[in-house]
Amino acid sequence: MQTIQYMLVIFGLSVNLLYADHPYDNMESLTFNPIGSGARALGMGGAFIGIADDATAASWNPGGLIQLKASEFSIVADFSRWKEENSIHMNSRESFSNSMSEENLNFLSLTSPFTFMERNLVISLNYQHLFAFKREQRLLYSQSEKNDSQYLVTQDGKLSALGLAVCFQVHSNLSVGLTFNFWNDWFGTNGWEQTTREKGPVKLSPTNYFLFDAAITHQYNFEGFNMNFGISWDVTDQFTCGFVLKTPFRANLEHTTQLTSYSPKYPPTSRKYSEKLDMPLSCGVGVAYRFSDNWTLSGDLYVTDWPDFIITDPNGNQFSFITGKEDHLSNVKPTCQVRLGSEYLRINKRLETIIPFRAGIFYDPMPSNGSPDDYYGFSLGSGISIGSYVFDIAYQYRFAVNVGKAKLKRFGFSQDVEEGRCYGSFIFHF
């Protein structure tokens, strides 16, 4: 009789996890990181909308591509590592920390300028790594006198796009550009996976407990299309303004949910269905002032409309993809990034070399339920240009204190975050 009761309880818990009317109620909010393109931009704190004078302009502001005077090939590698100090304020034995690292291809492009009807024209084919999802949160908490419970959330994956950018010279000091972004799996899986595993005691009677151990995995494959529209305006010989708008779009999601029960050994149970994910509009404005051929200062403001980051399930129910809750129960607000950067060039005409020195600071809030989480950081960069070859390297440090409260909210969760990101890039001018 006890065995039958045990099996019925574990089966009921499993079915509830997998076949709930609103599966996102069983998910903790997703952690994701928007990724910028290029070592030069990273070294300037991401304040690049008003400059945008290399191939990565296809991502930052395609209107700036007109500044490229020769065909070029560019490739950027991304090495990142981060550490999270996590605290549990309810029924917790202790705080805990996680550290992770990963390497990715950040950007790849082939860009060439042309002349068409006495106007300059630039075309660029590029690959952009745009979102990263890798995270792990593990905790140990006490919910009974019999045993501790363990809770583990892991996620991994990325979103990238293949872009075709075109930039036209409208006037001698004004250019307009478009990047057509195709989000698909041409370069491997374009999507992410999140697994939540919980192990702990379940009470059958005042004196009878059994150990519940099950995991639920959500896997998403992502496809969509959007555009980046950009303008670059040389107001004077020293002062430049830039504007970029990244259009919202509705992506197709293939969502597979699988439940695995480790006690007892039930075979995995899965569901597969199609969903829609509304990606939000974002736009930014940037300015750059060149004090001389050697020294430039830049600044950006960039806004993202995160309340429109909505997933729609097969039944038409809508959920915030920030909080995992139904849209009308969420209180997500737009974010506004503030970025400042500087670049100084040490030019040696005799040796035909240029050595840059770059630095930047930024405020980069992350969306959350209620007020955004505050993230800050700084960056440094350098490199060398020798004839047709350009090598750049940049390091960014990003941090936050007492954030992430919307994740694992039922445990009173918060965390301090430190992130280090290093970009290395190579450019060859034909």
Residue 3 has pLDDT above 50, yes or no: no
Q: Which residues face 33 on adjacent strands?
A: 132
Q: Which of 382, 50, 428 is nearest to 241 (CA)?
A: 50
Query: Taking the CA of residue 278 as centre, how many other CA atoms within 13 Å lie in the half-sphere pointing to its CB?
Result: 18
Arithmetic mean of pLDDT, 13-34: 48
* Three-class secondary structure of residue 67 per DSSP: helix
Which two tokens mark 167?
């930039």
Arithmetic mean of pLDDT, 264-276: 80
- Compute, in degrees rounded to 10, the torsion defined by CA atoms 260, 158, 375, 239: -170
Q: Where are the beta strands (DSSP E) in 235-352?
A: 239-246, 249-261, 269-279, 282-290, 295-304, 310-312, 318-320, 335-348
Arithmetic mean of pLDDT, 158-176: 93
Looking at residue 8, its pLDDT comes to 44
Arithmetic mean of pLDDT, 211-237: 90
Would you call the peptide bond into 264 cis, given omega within 30 degrees of 0 as the criterion? Answer: yes
Token pair 């009317």 is at which residue? 21
Count other C-beta atoms under 10 Å from residue 348's C-beta. 9
- Binned at pLDDT 50, 70 and 90, residue 144 comes out as low
CA distance 26 to 21: 10
Residue 28 has pLDDT above 60, yes or no: no
CA distance 176 to 162: 20
- Higher pLDDT among residues 120 and 239, named by residue: 239
Which two tokens mark 290?
């060149």
Token pair 């931009």 is at which residue? 41
Which two tokens mark 313?
């399930």
Looking at residue 430, its pLDDT comes to 87
Residues ≥6 apart with Cβ < 8 Å to 324: 24, 25, 27, 28, 29, 30
Residues ≥6 apart with Cβ < 8 Å to 270: 256, 257, 258, 259
Which two tokens mark 343?
């670049």
Kindly state the greatest CA–CA separation across the chain.
90
> Which of 6-15, 55-64, 99-108, 411-420 is predicted most confidently?
55-64
**Tens-digit pLDDT profile for residues 36-89:** 899 999 999 999 999 999 999 999 999 999 999 899 999 999 999 988 887 776
Q: Which of 324, 411, 412 is nearest to 369 (CA)?
A: 324
- Binned at pLDDT 50, 70 and 90, residue 92 comes out as low
User: Which of 13-22, 59-68, 131-140, 250-259 is predicted least confidently?
Assistant: 13-22
**Tens-digit pLDDT profile for residues 316-353:** 999 998 888 888 888 999 999 999 999 999 998 888 89
Residue 427 has pLDDT above 70, yes or no: yes
Residue 98 has pLDDT above 90, yes or no: no
Q: What single letter denotes the amino acid at residue 344?
A: Y
Arithmetic mean of pLDDT, 117-121: 83
User: Which of 123-132, 137-146, 149-158, 178-187 is predicted least confidently?
Assistant: 137-146
Exposed / middle / buried, residue 42 (Cβ in 10 Å: 0-12, 13-18, 19+)? buried
**Tens-digit pLDDT profile for residues 189-205:** 799 998 888 777 766 56
Q: Which of 321, 5, 369, 287 is nearest to 155 (CA)?
A: 321
Residues ≥6 apart with Cβ < 8 Å to 404: 31, 86, 368, 373, 413, 414, 415, 417
Contact 395, 420 (CB under 8 A): yes
Exposed / middle / buried, residue 74 (Cβ in 10 Å: 0-12, 13-18, 19+)? buried
**Tens-digit pLDDT profile for residues 363-421:** 999 998 888 999 999 999 999 999 899 999 999 999 999 887 766 666 677 888 899 99
**Tens-digit pLDDT profile for residues 407-426:** 666 667 788 889 999 999 99
Work out whether strand 174-183 and strand 148-171 pair parallel, antiparallel, or are unpaired.
antiparallel
> Which of 12-21, 68-77, 109-118 is predicted most confidently?
68-77
Contact 405, 368 (CB under 8 A): yes
Q: What are phi and psi of 143, to 5 degrees?
A: -125, 0
Which two tokens mark 405?
């409260």
Looking at residue 286, its pLDDT comes to 97
Q: What is the DSSP string of 221-252?
A: EEEEEEEEEEEEEESSSSEEEEEEEE--EEEE
Looking at residue 71, its pLDDT comes to 93
Exposed / middle / buried, residue 374 (Cβ in 10 Å: 0-12, 13-18, 19+)? middle
Q: Which of 166, 162, 167 is nearest to 128 (CA)?
A: 162
Question: What domains lie within the chain, and their CATH numbers?
Answer: 38-142+156-188+224-252+276-429 (2.40.160.60)
User: Which of 53-62, 166-175, 230-239, 252-261 is predicted least confidently?
Assistant: 252-261
Looking at residue 210, its pLDDT comes to 63
Count other C-beta atoms under 10 Å from residue 388's C-beta. 12
State the Cα angle at 350 between 344 and 356, rounded to 5°: 15
Q: Which residues face 140 on adjacent strands?
A: 150
Residue 109 has pLDDT above 70, yes or no: yes
Residue 20 has pLDDT above 70, yes or no: no
